[in-house]
């Protein structure tokens, strides 16, 4: 009998027709990042040791979500090309118990106005977080994960409209 190997590092890569600084701002500025995907603003203190927090929306809280959805710490910040952070999800008691995982955002300007965004999420020893962030469930069921977030980020930056 062969055991399947669980992937513990998930890599997502997209190309966005927008300058690297605009993509950086859309990731790190709550005025931007609250406009796409789940519409829950992310707040960053963009310095090593700085706090990272995602607060739930009123609608999420009405459905039983905690005030803080995700928290962490900024490990590296090199605006506008690299951000490394810890990431702990309070989606359920199981995801919270798995503790901190690591997310790395890398932005490369392929040519003026075209940014390659690579998000790497190290989910070693965090199978519930891995399942939640790669969730293919329908959005109405709370699914979407990183694919949903990055798709909506791209759509917002390229069209000015969120798909959510």
* pLDDT tens track for 138-155: 444 556 789 989 999 999
- Which fold does the domain 9-159 belong to in CATH? Alpha-D-Glucose-1,6-Bisphosphate; Chain A, domain 4 (3.30.530)
Is the backbone of residue 59 left (phi > 0), alpha (psi -120 to 50) or beta?
alpha
Instruction: Write the pLDDT tens digit of every residue in 17-75.
Output: 999 999 999 999 999 999 998 899 999 999 999 999 999 999 999 999 999 999 999 99
CB atoms near residue 120 (< 10 Å): 15
Q: Which two tokens stand for residue 74?
A: 């900024």
Domain boundaries, the chain: 9-159
CB atoms near residue 138 (< 10 Å): 9
Q: Which two tokens stand for residue 43?
A: 């707040």
Please, where are the H alpha helices in the chain? 20-28, 30-33, 58-62, 93-97, 127-133, 145-159
- Complete edge-to-edge strand list for the sheet that includes strand 114-122: 9-16, 114-122, 101-111, 82-89, 68-78, 51-55, 42-44
Q: What is the pTM of this model?
A: 0.90
């Amino acid at each position: 009998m062969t055991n399947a190997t669980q992937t513990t590092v998930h890599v997502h890569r997209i190309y966005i027709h927008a300058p690297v600084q605009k993509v950086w701002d859309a990731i790190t500025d709550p005025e931007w990042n609250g406009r796409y995907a789940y519409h829950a603003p992310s707040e960053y203190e963009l310095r090593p040791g700085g706090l990272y927090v995602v607060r739930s929306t009123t609608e999420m809280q009405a459905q039983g979500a905690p005030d803080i959805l995700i928290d962490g710490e900024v490990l590296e910040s090199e605006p506008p090309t690299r951000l490394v952070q810890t990431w702990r999800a309070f989606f359920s008691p199981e995801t919270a118990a798995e503790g901190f995982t690591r997310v790395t955002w890398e932005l490369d300007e392929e040519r003026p106005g075209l940014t390659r965004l690579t998000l790497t999420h190290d989910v070693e020893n965090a199978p519930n977080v891995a399942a939640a962030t790669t969730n293919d469930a329908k959005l109405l069921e709370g699914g979407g994960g990183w694919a949903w977030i990055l798709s909506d980020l791209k759509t917002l930056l390229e069209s000015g409209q969120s798909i959510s």
